[in-house]
Amino acid sequence: MTGNKYVITFGLWLTVTFGAQAQKPVEYVDPFIGTTNFSVCNPGAVCPNGLMSVVPFNVMGSDLNVYDKDARWWSAPYEFNNKYFTGFAHVTLSGVGCPELGTLLLMPTAGALDVDYRHYGSTYSGEQAVPGYYANKLDKYGIKCEVTSTLRSSIERFTFRKGQGNILLNIGDGLTNEVGGMVKRVSDTEIEGFRLLGTFCYNSQAVFPMYFVMRVNKRPTETGYWKKQPTMTGVKGQWDTDNGKYKLYKHYGREMAGNEIGYYFSFDCAEGEQIEVQMGVSFVSIANARENLTAEQPTVDFDNVRRKAYNQWNKTLSRITVEGGTEAQRRIFYTALYHTQLHPNILQDVNGQYPKMESAEIGTTRGNRYTVYSLWDTYRNVHQLFTLLYPDKQLDMVRSMIEMYKEWGWMPKWELFGRETWTMEGDPAIPVITDTYLKGLRDFDVNTAYEAFVKSATTPSKDNKMRPDVDPYLAKGYIPLGLYAADQSGDNSVSHALEYYVADYALSQLADALGKKADARHFRRLSSGWHNYYSKEYGTLRPKLANGQFLTPFDPKAGADFTNAPGFHEGSAWNYTFYVPHDIKKLAHVMGGPQQFVDKLQRVFDQNLYDPANEPDIAYPYLFSYFNGQAWRTQQQVARLLEKYYKATPDGIPGNDDCGTMSAWAIFSMIGLYPDCPGSPTYTLTTPVFDRVTLHLDRRFYPAGDIVIEAPHASAQSIYIKGITLGGRRYKSYRVSHADLIKARTLRFDLTEKHQTK
């Protein structure tokens, strides 16, 4: 049985139980989509942008089930095809290609106590998942597991068979590269502690604690700690920690700290007895974790928490209504929208406190303080989606970024719970905030943001945390190979520079809007430096050496499939050559003209040089529309890519979802408009998948109200546009500004089965 079949069955149950009307957006969501094929999504229980998530953990192997001997080799707590369950992880990341978090593993067992995950793990069956709820049944014990969450807390319900039941909190194992934690007994039914996290994507950064408070709703017959003890290897002075034995401490003192520790509760259970477990978390303190739990769950009421989470999701997903299309397309669409609302996450506790950026200090916010900024990914389309559909969230996210700058002197690049991880490259906060400002959301401190942008764009390399190789970029217009990494295969000079060009173009746009004309000219000039890398010999971008010569020998296909290639990060020259979204017409000029540009871009798709699973080239299909008579190619390629790579199945996302970025590509593409130039308040138009799409805009920010997009399909082959009407008037362009779209309120496409060349 596939994942979406589980959801369909359980969705019908929810319809009856909660009195929900059929066809609500939330009912189309299948949390199992994207849980294999390296998409690293998970079907766990979480609220929109919630700090807490409760996720089934099935990536640690056992003596009987060999998937991977160590969870740290995985980047997600769950993989659809794995079936060896070792607990529920609390607070996780979705769609992220590097291991982090995935700790505080809560596991129910039955019978004699065993605290070694290689023994206590179990296969499972009967998986069910809808937004805000997950359930399975453990084959080894006959225990039914159900989990749900609030913003900062969780509640889990375990239905036991008659006999001894155990609840284990494993504080030692998980995904994070860090080790260590502490647990303290507060009472028979409550414990507290913390788990150390950090070293995300194997980058060296500060370790930080996640605090927790956990309660059970039944007094146990026995409780205690455990700790894994190392054993001698037979070589004097050497210890084997992997194969050490777990020692129980039934009558230990009130707390324990270490690397491989945990706490257990044992119960005398009646047949069918349900035990509920609540957990609150905080990145500030144990006291705040307790306050979060008490405030969000004043009573023990699993069904009430589940119902509220479900309703929150339906409200969030109802910002878009779609009509037409197939059942599978609606499932793909609303699941994609669901995935975009998992990150960023609120960071502040119920009292407003949060850990300040790169600091031991605690701040207090009146609004929402957000965290988990995968900006190298999300600056391309996720934040544009927030600006359009969730402007209140986007403003809070922008304000959070500006506060980070105030707290430590730099904008975030890939921020995680108040720590900068320095993952990926570029200066991605600039296009995010510029795009927001230019689209009319201006209730934030733009002058401080501009100050931060100029600082990162002009500070010399030795003092520049954001652009550590900026000196030659400013002096020559490009970054030579070998400056950033002595090993050329690990050098990403071209990728770095391309990101700076995009950021500086956005900065020039913001400078112009703020009346800083000289700055605008300066940064616009810098943004055109990409031409230094263009090689007429190969017709692609090509790394340059310090002496100004191109790298030789050179293979423009090297670097595909995430292999290393000189100058490029996670891609080949073909994946990056067209990534100058702010200068497409000039790029066409250096390639020999529009037709040569179009032919070369078409070659990327015809020869499978396009990578749908990574960000640098995901806007490629939309670039055809910049040239007269070529928009049909955009319509053709977008339709083909959606059909080929996005499915209502567990492998239905093409690679890492990257905090919703690949999902956002599908959402925009399915409704017929795409923000292909970050930092520019425009969209390129294409054929919507649905006959009618209604964007229910927040009137506090967009007083004109809803936008209706119509595209009646005479057949499934009606993928080409023969005419466009904007606001009731004929529209001749395939690009539309954000302001014109909002003002017009209606956008209609007349479709045909034959492509239009005019």
Q: Is the pLDDT of residue 65 over 80?
A: no
Comparing C-alpha atoms, which of 394, 439, 441, 389 is closest to residue 693?
389
Each as own residue / partner, the long-range contacts of residues 557-565 (CB below 8 Å, 24 or more positions apart, any chain) are 557/609, 560/609, 560/611, 561/611, 562/614, 564/489, 564/490, 565/489
Q: Is the pLDDT of residue 114 over 90?
A: yes
pLDDT category at 488 given cuts 50, 70, 90 is low
Q: What average pLDDT score do residues 529-539 get?
A: 98
pLDDT category at 486 given cuts 50, 70, 90 is low
Question: What is the number of other CB atoms lying within 10 angstroms of the CB of residue 364?
Answer: 12
Structural contact between residues 147 and 303, judged by C-beta atoms closer than 8 angstroms: no
What single-letter amino acid sits at 349?
Answer: D
Query: In whole angstroms, what is the distance from residue 93 CA to residue 60 CA?
Result: 17
pLDDT category at 17 given cuts 50, 70, 90 is very low
Strand (E) or helix (H) holding 135: strand 133-138
What predicted TM-score, i.e. pTM, was given to this entire model?
0.95
Structural contact between residues 170 and 262, judged by C-beta atoms closer than 8 angstroms: yes
User: pLDDT of 686-740, one tens digit each?
Assistant: 999 999 999 999 999 999 999 999 999 999 999 999 999 999 999 999 999 999 9
User: pLDDT of 430-464, one tens digit each?
Assistant: 999 999 999 999 999 999 999 999 999 999 999 99
**Residues written for the chain:** 758
The predicted pLDDT at position 238 comes to 61
What single-letter amino acid sits at 447?
Answer: N
Q: Is the pLDDT of residue 16 over 60?
A: no
Q: Is the pLDDT of residue 39 over 60?
A: yes
Query: In whole angstroms, what is the distance from residue 285 CA to residue 209 CA?
Result: 9
The predicted pLDDT at position 490 comes to 66
Q: What average pLDDT score do residues 455-474 get?
A: 97
Tokens at residue 538, please? 């190969």
Q: What SS3 string covers 260-295? A: CEEEEEEEEECCCCEEEEEEEEECCCHHHHHHHHHH
The predicted pLDDT at position 241 comes to 61
User: pLDDT of 647-676, one tens digit each?
Assistant: 999 999 999 999 999 999 999 999 999 999
Query: In whole angstroms, what is the distance from residue 226 CA to residue 501 CA?
Result: 54
Q: Is the pLDDT of residue 251 over 60?
A: yes
The predicted pLDDT at position 290 comes to 98
Q: Is the pLDDT of residue 289 over 60?
A: yes
Q: What average pLDDT score do residues 201-224 get?
A: 91
The predicted pLDDT at position 253 comes to 80
- What's the distance, CA 428 to chain centroid? 15
Beta bridge partners of residue 501, listed in sequence order: none
pLDDT category at 483 given cuts 50, 70, 90 is confident
Report CA-CA distances (Å) from 594 to 209, 275, 600, 733: 54, 67, 10, 17
Beta bridge partners of residue 109, listed in sequence order: 166
Residues 6+ apart with CB under 8 A from 641: 612, 621, 669
Q: What structural domains does the chain harbor? A: 28-315 (2.70.98.10), 321-640+653-660 (1.20.1610.10)
Report CA-CA distances (Å) from 311 to 32, 50, 562, 593: 19, 14, 40, 53
Q: What average pLDDT score do residues 467-496 get?
A: 88
Report CA-CA distances (Å) from 648 to 48, 311, 334: 21, 23, 10
Q: What average pLDDT score do residues 365-380 get?
A: 97
> Of 40-49, 233-242, 633-642, where does mean pLDDT reach its minimum?
233-242
Q: Is the pLDDT of residue 613 over 50?
A: yes
User: pLDDT of 302-328, one tens digit each?
Assistant: 999 999 999 999 999 999 999 999 999
Q: Is the pLDDT of residue 90 over 90?
A: yes
Query: In whole angstroms, what is the distance from residue 404 CA to residue 393 CA?
Result: 17
The predicted pLDDT at position 37 comes to 87
* Residue with the two structure tokens 């749900």: 148
Q: Is the pLDDT of residue 242 over 90?
A: no
The predicted pLDDT at position 11 comes to 42
User: pLDDT of 121-147, one tens digit each?
Assistant: 999 999 999 999 999 999 999 999 999
| Cα three-residue angle 265-268-273, rounded to 5 degrees | 100
Q: Is the pLDDT of residue 485 over 70?
A: no
What is the rounded average pLDDT for all residues in the chain?
93
Q: How does DSSP classify residue 255?
A: E
Q: Is the pLDDT of residue 2 over 60?
A: no
**Through-space distance between the first and last CA atoms of the chain, rounded to whole angstroms:** 48
Query: In whole angstroms, what is the distance from residue 369 CA to residue 25 CA?
Result: 27
Q: Is the pLDDT of residue 267 over 90?
A: yes
Report CA-CA distances (Å) from 285 to 43, 192, 591, 599: 28, 10, 58, 59
